[in-house]
Structures are given as C-alpha cells and as structure tokens.
Structure 1
C-alpha cells in the first residue's frame, strides 16, 4: 500500500515541523467543518453575524468587512510572491508552478475583495488575525514542503500538468460563481437573496465545489503529503460550510428550492 501511494506522492520529508503541520492542518480544518455542521460558525460569516449579539462583542475591535477580508488574504499573497525572491526556494518546474498557483489564488482573492464582493457586515479583529495567520502559515509551509523535495526522486506518476489544468478550472469556476453572487444585490441593498445562474440552480455552494477542485489541482502540482493533507482538510471544512449554508437558506426562505443540494449536484 505504501509503495502504491509513493508512486503518486513524495515521501514525507525528515521534518518534524512539516509532519506536525500536515496533521494539524488536516485536523483543524476538518474539525472546523464539523463545527459548521453543529452551528458553530467562524466569526466572519453571515451566519455568525445573524446569531451573535453586539453586546457579547462590545469590547472587540471591529473592522469593515472589506478591510477584514483583505487582512485574511494579503499576508498569504505576500508569502507566495516572496518565495520567488528567496534564492533557492523555488527550484524546478514543479516548485515554480506551485508558487505561481498559490500567488494567483490569493491575488484573485484580493482582487475579488476589492472589486467583486458585496459587503453588509463587519469582522472582529480578534477573529481575523488567527485566520490570516492560518492562511499565511499554510502557504509558507506548502512552499517549504516542496523545497524539501529537491533531493528526492520525482514520484513515478507525474501529475503536475493535470494539476495545473484542474487548478485553472477551479479558479475560473470559483470566480464565475463569486461574480454571480456579487450581482444578487443592487447598490445599497443589504438583504440576502437566493443565488441564481450557473450551478446555483443545482447546488447552493458551487463556488466551494470549484474551490475544492482548485486545491486538488494545487495538490497534484505539489504531490507532497502536506499539500494533500491541507486539501483534504479544506474539503471537509467546505463540506461542513456548504451544509450550513443550505440549512441557513432553508431557514430564511420558504421558497428555497428543495432539490438544490449543498455542494455536489444531485448527491449532497
């Protein structure tokens, strides 16, 4: 079994840090997904804003949502771009594709925050900082794990070009559905509406589906244990998030179509 897996993945590097981060990333993300199912939402979601009283957070500093979202993504973008400036950090085609994919991913997120997304709430600084650090350390660790593969032989099955194609498919699908979400509300409107168009007619969170595909693309580019651990953790988190999102829409809209699934058309 191990020899079969090693035909697709680099051997785990002799790094206690990367090994620990592989376990921590998967466990923390999967646990956060389970928390979403239980109704314990991250402190920047519309679900959390709807159920949290202002009194309980009166002593916490609030950021406008746009500034808060920039704080989430900008440090990870800097980490990905900085890898190209560090001598010896990005060596070989696979490493260049990985750093490029992570740079493109977070650049897209920053551009969406600035020019695409619509906002109607706020974010607590105390919540934004740990999420921002999580994105930053995950990005840096993925690049470092790839750096540690330099003396190793390539996996028998080279999946990086399949990964590149899957990454751009996920990127395009995620952006398109974010764009559709941004057009739901006219200027000045704050109420939530049922998304329409694209795969929204089949699932409530197609943007999450494409984000998962994009991260699987990144994993196939990297083919490291850490990349797959992070991706599977992200997948479980977004499964929980999509479940919570569908439940929220069902509770808010009597006319929400029951045939629309959470994440996977016709299945879940």
Structure 2
C-alpha cells in the first residue's frame, strides 16, 4: 500500500502525522461544522488582545517562511530533486502570501492574538514537511512518481489563488472602501471561495511532490478546514446580500 504512492513513514513522521490528524483535524472539523475561526468576516467581539488584521496575517506566515528559508542554510538539509522542489514550492508559496499581506490585501479590521498564534502554529507545523523529507533518503521510491505532476498541481493552485486574491483586492481599490461586496469575475461566478479551492490544490501539490503521509495529512486537514470556511462564507454572503446568486456554490463548481 505504502509503496504505490507514498514512502513508508518513519516512526517520527508517523507520530507527527497522527498528532496532526488529531489536533489539526479537530480544529478543521470544528470549522467544517460551523465553529468558524475568528478572522476576516468571522471575528467575534470580546477578545482582549487584538491585533490589526495585517499584523495578524503576517504572524500566520512569517515564522514559517523564516523556517523554510533556514532549511536552505543548513548543510545537508536539502538534497535531491524532490527535496529541492518541495522546499522551493513551499517557500515560494509563503513568499507569495507575505507579499500579498503587505501589498495586495486590503484590511479593515482586527483579529485576536490567539487566532494569529494558532495560524502561525499551523504553518510552522506544515513547514516541517521540508525537514521530514530527508528521512526518506535511501528508502525505496514510490511505484508511482507524482513529483512533476505535483509541481504542476502546485503551480495551478498558487496561480489561481493569487488571481482570485487580486480580484478580491480590487473590491477595495485604494483602501478607502471598507464595506464588503459580492466578488465578481473568474471562478467567483461559480463558487463563493475559488481562492480556497486553489489553496487546496496548492496543498495537494505539496503532498504529491513530497509523497509522504505527513504532507498528505496536512493537505487533507487543510481541505476540510477550507471547505468549512467556504460553506460559512457562502452562507454569510447569502445573508448579507439579497442579490447573491443562488447558482454560486460554496467551493466545488456546480456541486457544493
């Protein structure tokens, strides 16, 4: 079973995979069932320690980016095409996210410090896939090599995610308009959160490049979380805007 698509996990990788599936999976299922994490449209009043949303989102991504870049400076940490491509893809994604936070997204609110720390913890956990990849050295390669298809899936996901983030940013062009609007253009005509759909592609691209149980757990947990987020976002738009199109699904065009 392992040898077809995945490397057999080491004891450390297996333990971290179980921890991720349990801890992060619980959070993802909570989100999927409607217990929305407190950022963006779903910030709740009452938290004592709040950060500007831009600062909070930088906390999501910056520590993981530093960790990913550090792997390039550690002798022997990255070897071979698979490890290099995984590191390059994950690092490129985090650089994109940080640049979007700094220069693209328009923020108007705040988020709890605890939410920023939780998001940062997730990305720090996820970036461990770069370091865990070295544990596969010397092991038999999976029978089906998903490395280069994974690079393609990652590229499609990252590009689609950026494009729809760009469309969202244009809803508040100039930064003076703080009101939410119905997004238009691209796949927003079909689903409420195409940026989340493409983010799921990005994480499964990582999993295909890596071909490890750990990376697959991260991808599945992310997909469950973002599916829940998409469902809640669609319901939010429908409750706020009478003209929100009924044909627009939450995440999967024409299906859900």
Name the TM-score, length of structure 2 as normaliser.
Answer: 0.95
Q: Deviations over 1:51-98 (max 9, x none)?
A: x23xx22xx222111111111100111111111111111111100001
Match of 2:26 in 1: 31
CA distance in 1, matches of 2:113, 2:255: 37
- Distance in 2 separating the partners of 1:241 and 1:126: 18
- Please give the per-residue CA displacement for 1:162-212, whole angstroms capped at 9, x wherever unaligned: 111110110100000000000012431111100000000000010011111
Query: Where do 5+ consecutive residues of structure 2 fail to align?
Result: none
Whether 1:169 aligns to 2:156 is: yes
For this pair of structures, how many residues does the alignment match?
A: 255
Deviations 1:200-230 (A, max 9, x none): 0000010011111111111111001101111
> Which blocks of at least 5 consecutive residues in structure 1 are unaligned?
none
Give the equivalent residue in structure 1 for 2:54. Answer: 66
Structure 2 counterpart SS, 1:123: strand
The corresponding residue for 1:206 is 194
Task: Name the CA distance, whole Å, in 1 between partners of 2:216 and 2:32.
Answer: 23
**1:25: how far off?**
2.0
Q: How far apart, in 1, do the equivalents of 2:246 and 2:83 lie?
A: 44
Q: Which moved more, 1:207-216 or 1:175-184?
A: 207-216
Where does residue 118 of structure 2 map in the other structure? 130
TM-score of the superposed pair, with normalisation by structure 1: 0.91
Q: CA RMSD in A?
A: 1.4
1:1-268 matches, within 5 Å, as 2=1, 5-15=2-12, 18-47=13-42, 49=43, 52-53=44-45, 56-57=46-47, 60-139=48-127, 141-186=128-173, 187-268=175-256
In 2, the alpha carbon distance for the partners of 1:38 and 1:230 equals 19
Take 2:221 and 2:168, find their aligned partners in 1: how far apart are those partners? 25
Task: Give the conservation status (yes or no) of the 8 Å contact 1:31–1:237.
Answer: no
Partner secondary structure for residue 83 of structure 1: helix
Report the CA distance between 1:24 and its aligned residue. 2.6
Q: Matches of 1:190 and 1:147 in 2, distance apart?
A: 46
Please tell me whether the aligned partners of residues 157 and 199 of structure 2 are also in contact (alpha carbons under 8 angstroms). yes
CA–CA separation in structure 1 for the residues paired with 2:71 and 2:196:
27
Distance in 2 (alpha carbons) for counterparts of 1:190 and 1:210: 25
